[in-house]
Amino acid sequence: MASKVFRPRLNLSHVTFQGNNNHAQSHSFGQVFLHKKTGVSSSRRSIVAAEAAALMAEETTPKTGNSALSHFWREVQGSNNWENLVEPLHPLLRKEIIRYGEFVAACYKAFDLDPTSKRYLHCKYGKSRMLNEVGMEDCGYTVTKYIYATPDINIPMQNEASRGHWIGYVAVSSDESAVKRLGRRDLLIAFRGTVTNHEWVTNLMSSLTPARLDPNNPNPDVKVESGFLSLYTSDETKSKFGLESCREQLLSEVSRLLNKHKVEDLSITLAGHSMGSALALLLAYDIAELGLNKTDHETVPITAFSFGGPRVGNPSFKQRCEELGVKVMRIVNVNDPITKLPGMFLNENFRVLGGRYELPWISCSCYAHVGVELVMDFFNVQNPSCVHDLETYISLLKCPTKTLHTRKEGFDNLLNRARELIFGARSLKSICL
**Residue 430 is among the residues annotated as catalytic for this protein:** no
- Cα(143)–Cα(106) distance, integer angstroms: 12
Strand 372-380 with 352-353, pairing: unpaired
- Cα(92)–Cα(66) distance, integer angstroms: 12
Strands in 164-321 per DSSP E: 165-173, 185-191, 208-210, 223-225, 266-273, 302-307
Angle at 185 between CA 149 and CA 319, to 5 degrees: 60
Q: Which of 14, 165, 198, 388 is catalytic?
A: 388
**Residue 336 is among the residues annotated as catalytic for this protein:** yes
* Cβ pair 38, 396 in contact under 8 A: no
For 366-397, b/e burial (b = at least 16 CB within 10 A) is bbbbbbbbbbbbbbbbeebbbbbbbebbbbbb
Q: Which of 274, 277, 316, 363 is catalytic?
A: 274
Q: Which of 235, 336, 377, 389 is catalytic?
A: 336
- Cα(300)–Cα(347) distance, integer angstroms: 31
- Cα(160)–Cα(277) distance, integer angstroms: 23
**Residue 274 is among the residues annotated as catalytic for this protein:** yes
91-110 vs 69-76: helix crossing angle, rounded to 10: 80
From the number of C-beta atoms within 10 Å of its C-beta (0-12, 13-18, 19+), residue 112 rates as middle
- Cα(83)–Cα(73) distance, integer angstroms: 14
* Cβ pair 304, 271 in contact under 8 A: yes
CA 313 to chain CA centroid, Å, is: 15
List residues with catalytic annotation: 274, 336, 388
